[in-house]
Structure 1
Amino acid sequence: MISLPKMLSRTRFFQKSSLSHAVRPLATSFSKRCIAPQTYERLFTSAATAAVDYNPPTQIAALTERDNRVSVLWADGQEGDFHFAWLRDNDPLRFMSCGQKMPIESIIPGSKSLIPTSLETDDENETLRIRWGNQDQDSIFTSSWLRMHCYDKMDLDLTATRASRALSYHQPPEIDFDTLFENNEGVYKWLKMVNEFGLALVKNVPSNDGEVLNVSGLVGKSSHTMYGENFDVKTEANPINAAFSDAALEFHMDLAYFESPPGLQYLHALRFDTSMEGGESTFIDAHAVAEVFKEREPEAFETLVRVPATFQKNHVDRANPARLFYQRPHISVNYVNEVIAVFWAPPFEGPLMVLSEDVETYYAAYAKFRALMNSDEMMKRYGYRFRLQTGDLICFNNRRMLHGRDAFRSHQGVRHLQGCYNTIDDFLNKYRVLAFEYDPHPNVLLGGGIAAYGEERVGTTSHR
């Protein structure tokens, strides 16, 4: 057992027969990191995923107390710092069995209540016990939980849930309709495709009215919008939306004028006659394009992060009148400046309402981003163009994949798609739950309820 009296300023080491080597500080720059330098994979897993292959050494070799934190050194030489304010906030005693956190008094860094009277490990050196001066009960943290939740910059970088920007092969990954309804493992395979590539094509879907709701129901209840629980995309004489015409559609996201635009979008080809000329579907990974834009045009990028565009659906001359307006920048980043959202919908942009000095700066940045988005270079790297067939259903991440289509001519044929939406939260929840069950990979980061392996950032920093 390691025990430190109050405000001990130096590190004590120990040796036990259970350890295969003497513990000592490491001289490399990785000595204060919770992830070994030889691996850049995500190594953490929830305490609940005990069946995973990776079990890093979790015995505590040494504790060092400083003014406002404790440094934990593990038996394999890795080290992590934990602020007393953070430890008090995450006291296991605060959490109910359902995972909710019980309230306590405000945590004020530097206050006497955050100065521990003792720090010690158990006899096996696998837990850290903290005795606070004003608390009747000690806080007990398992070594493995602390290891899983290290939060210095390198650890956050190494454990960030970045999906690989897989280069497009112009045809999306495919899965058969029957596979989805065999069992939940089929659903997981499908959602894993959507997560990795941003989209997935479901083949051989029955051409029944409303069948798209059965597919989206595997994820969660369909989102009800001004277009209903589901909607039809087919040519109309007096369309209330450009999608209901035969015109080409530029890359866009749906419902950008909503406070929370839909997460997943589904388009089921109930009928797409071979006599139709044109009408190919197009998609592009907007997050990937925005990251390229950040590198090539940093000033223009910052403008589109800072200056809000106006998105609107202003159409009262319809059965379900709409006056929806929302201001937000085109690009959102998290606190380490990674792209987490792109809001791009040229057909639904209203008058720019910003300070005078930002107007021309905005339009210049907008033109550069639009040119890059529509370039052959980005289409070849991150885009898709393909023709749906009757019975195909394309599912895509509306927050990540902008979509459009080529113009078409009917020649007495029919192009009839039926669509609907799921929220991004239903998608993330379903994907994480199924990943927990079917893919207990060492790289599945579920400890702390943050994300699943390779999960794409889709909305806030909480999705790291």
Structure 2
Amino acid sequence: MLSAVARRALTGAIQVVRGCGFLSSPAMVPRSGHQTLAAAPLPAVQGSPGVRQAQVLDHKRMLQVEWDDGSCSLYPFAWLRDNCQCPLCTLQSAQARSLLLTDLDVHTGMDQVQLSDNSKVCITWPDHHRSEFEPEWLRKRCFSPEARQARQEKLFLNEREFWDSGLQIPMADYEEVLHDDKAALAWLMALRRVGIVYLKGASLEQGQVARLSQRIGFLRLTFYGHTWQVQDKPSANNVAYTSGRLSLHTDYPALHHPPGVQFLHCLQQSQQGGESEVVDGFHMAELLRREAPEAFGILSSLWVDFTDTGSDYCDFFVQSKNRIIDVDGEGRVTRINYNNATRDSTLDVPLDQVQPFYSSLKTFVEVMNRPENVFAYRMEPGDLVTFDNWRLLHGRKSYVSNSECLRHLEGAYLDWDEVMSRLRILRKQVYGDS
């Protein structure tokens, strides 16, 4: 359970996203199933409290800092010495640690602590080295559970907005996202929170997904190239390159580190069929955990083999072992790895686990395919959808293929590291925070 401080921090973050428009009242939602994604609003800025006093607690080997608002923070001696900000210990131009761990006395004491006129915490160590810490720098690194939770949420935006068939996809203008920092920030924040954002107005020519990727950093190169063309192809090297129905899946679980984000740009749509389907995989996993905990336990613990072979950007024969549901140390779902087409016939599990695995996977797929959980939409030329490939499972209805109207989407991948890097940079540029 989150503390009051953490809840306030998370609520503030969620309100920023709500201000983007995707949680507006139903009466304001267009019938097409989209909501306009407005520019991210500027948050209220509050100053960090100054230091009232700093006290050495030798018996605990910690420094206690009391703030002007009456709260206190504790900092271990070893951590303070390890993070000395002086030019000898930190390369200022890179904000990278220069102090070697071999030179760090992890059992160091503290000779003296003083407050400077501008409230810096000044420490003298037994070897006469001197460290100075800005109040705001220390405050942001408080070790209390509440502060740690708020800091991690700000860095990684781990809280999600779950949804089902009633999803209203956040929508933004493609060109505005390319040229306006507030619009780009709102796009990335919604992408992280909701998992999918729809961009309108991209030109009807290849290269728009690559152009959008430059707003973030760079594309993820895979065996299918930097970008790839989703079309009905003879002798297809991927089931996506056929006109048949694609069941709900995540892309590329045949890699140990599947791409985190996917872009799909519609250049030409089929005259009949081809509608897209998505489900919130994290939400589905939580439903499974609640309704069938044994199945959740099996899918989050057994390692399943995936494979992909063929030739495209180059020839490839990839193998991976992934759990269908990845969870972190706190039990939070972090990634879904499921593609029925590339699930290998090799199943490296004990014999007595084969039937429980199939039963568990079948239960999960049935949960995902419930009509109340699936959101369907139809892309039109110029539409570009961006979504979280670690979270969403997506599919496509079959379509009629003919030479007069050949369905054509261009796709590309990015990784979450690059996306979150750009989000933090944009947030700093728009909000002015660090």
Specify the alignment match of 2:121 in structure 1. Answer: 128
Verify the 8 A CA contact 2:195 2:392 in the aligned structure 1.
Answer: yes
Shift of 1:270: 0.8
CA distances 1:356-381 after superposition (whole Å, capped 9, x unpaired): 454444334333332322233433xx
Verify the 8 A CA contact 1:199 1:395 in the aligned structure 2.
Answer: yes
Specify the alignment match of 2:211 in structure 1. Answer: 214
TM-score with structure 2 setting the length: 0.80
Paired letter, 1:324: V
Shift of 1:151: 2.5
Distance (Å, rounded) in 2 between the aligned partners of 1:206 and 1:37: 43
Q: For residues 408 and 36 of structure 1, do their structure 2 counterparts lie closer, same or farther at Cα, with a shift above 3 Å needed? A: closer
Specify the alignment match of 1:188 in structure 2. Answer: 185
Distance (Å, rounded) in 2 between the aligned partners of 1:399 and 1:300: 20
Picking from 60, 83, 91, the partner of 1:90 is 83
Distance (Å, rounded) in 2 between the aligned partners of 1:43 and 1:72: 26
In the alignment, does 2:93 pair up with 1:102?
A: no
CA distances 1:138-158 after superposition (whole Å, capped 9, x unpaired): 222222222211233333334
CA distances 1:121-153 after superposition (whole Å, capped 9, x unpaired): 3355x33233322x3312222222222112333
Distance (Å, rounded) in 1 between the aligned partners of 2:343 and 2:6: 47
Picking from 135, 141, 144, the partner of 1:152 is 144
Picking from 408, 420, 440, the partner of 2:412 is 420
Picking from 363, 387, 393, the partner of 2:384 is 393
Shift of 1:437: 0.8
Distance (Å, rounded) in 2 between the aligned partners of 1:157 and 1:183: 30
Paired letter, 1:386: Y
Verify the 8 A CA contact 1:235 1:246 in the aligned structure 2.
Answer: yes
TM-score with structure 1 setting the length: 0.75
Distance (Å, rounded) in 1 between the aligned partners of 2:171 and 2:45: 30
Paired letter, 1:403: H
Instruction: Give 3-state SS (helix, strand or coil) of 1:340's partner.
Output: strand
Instruction: Give 3-state SS (helix, strand or coil) of 2:305's partner.
Output: strand
Distance (Å, rounded) in 2 between the aligned partners of 1:364 and 1:121: 64
Paired letter, 2:369: N
Specify the alignment match of 1:174 in structure 2. Answer: 171
Shift of 1:53: 1.1
Of 99-108 and 192-201, more deviation after overlay is shown by 99-108
Q: For residues 334 and 252 of structure 1, do their structure 2 counterparts lie closer, same or farther at Cα, with a shift above 3 Å needed? A: same
Q: For residues 319 and 63 of structure 1, do their structure 2 counterparts lie closer, same or farther at Cα, with a shift above 3 Å needed? A: closer
In the alignment, does 2:159 pair up with 1:163?
A: yes
Verify the 8 A CA contact 1:310 1:353 in the aligned structure 2.
Answer: yes
Specify the alignment match of 1:198 in structure 2. Answer: 195
Verify the 8 A CA contact 2:246 2:395 in the aligned structure 1.
Answer: yes
Distance (Å, rounded) in 2 between the aligned partners of 1:324 and 1:70: 52
Verify the 8 A CA contact 1:310 1:328 in the aligned structure 2.
Answer: yes
Between Structure 1 and Structure 2, the one with more helix by share is 2
Instruction: Give 3-state SS (helix, strand or coil) of 1:366's partner.
Output: helix
- The total of aligned residue pairs comes to 393
Q: For residues 188 and 40 of structure 1, do their structure 2 counterparts lie closer, same or farther at Cα, with a shift above 3 Å needed? A: closer
Instruction: Give 3-state SS (helix, strand or coil) of 1:277's partner.
Output: coil
In the alignment, does 2:204 pair up with 1:227?
A: no
Q: What are structure 2's unaligned runs of at least 5 residues?
A: 14-42
Q: 1:424-439 alignment to 2 at 5 Å?
A: 424-439=416-431
In the alignment, does 2:275 pair up with 1:277?
A: no
Specify the alignment match of 1:362 in structure 2. Answer: 357
Q: For residues 369 and 156 of structure 1, do their structure 2 counterparts lie closer, same or farther at Cα, with a shift above 3 Å needed? A: farther
Instruction: Give 3-state SS (helix, strand or coil) of 1:370's partner.
Output: helix
Q: For residues 393 and 249 of structure 1, do their structure 2 counterparts lie closer, same or farther at Cα, with a shift above 3 Å needed? A: same
Distance (Å, rounded) in 2 between the aligned partners of 1:107 and 1:360: 55
Instruction: Give 3-state SS (helix, strand or coil) of 1:173's partner.
Output: strand
Specify the alignment match of 1:18 in structure 2. Answer: none
Paired letter, 1:369: F
Specify the alignment match of 1:68 in structure 2. Answer: 61
Specify the alignment match of 1:259 in structure 2. Answer: 256
Paired letter, 1:288: H
Shift of 1:324: 0.1
Distance (Å, rounded) in 2 between the aligned partners of 1:37 and 1:306: 30
Shift of 1:241: 0.9
Distance (Å, rounded) in 2 between the aligned partners of 1:87 and 1:295: 43
Distance (Å, rounded) in 2 between the aligned partners of 1:373 and 1:367: 10
Instruction: Give 3-state SS (helix, strand or coil) of 2:169's partner.
Output: coil
Specify the alignment match of 1:449 in structure 2. Answer: none
Distance (Å, rounded) in 2 between the aligned partners of 1:164 and 1:319: 35
Specify the alignment match of 1:26 in structure 2. Answer: none
Verify the 8 A CA contact 1:58 1:75 in the aligned structure 2.
Answer: yes
- Tell me the C-alpha RMSD between the 2 structures: 3.0
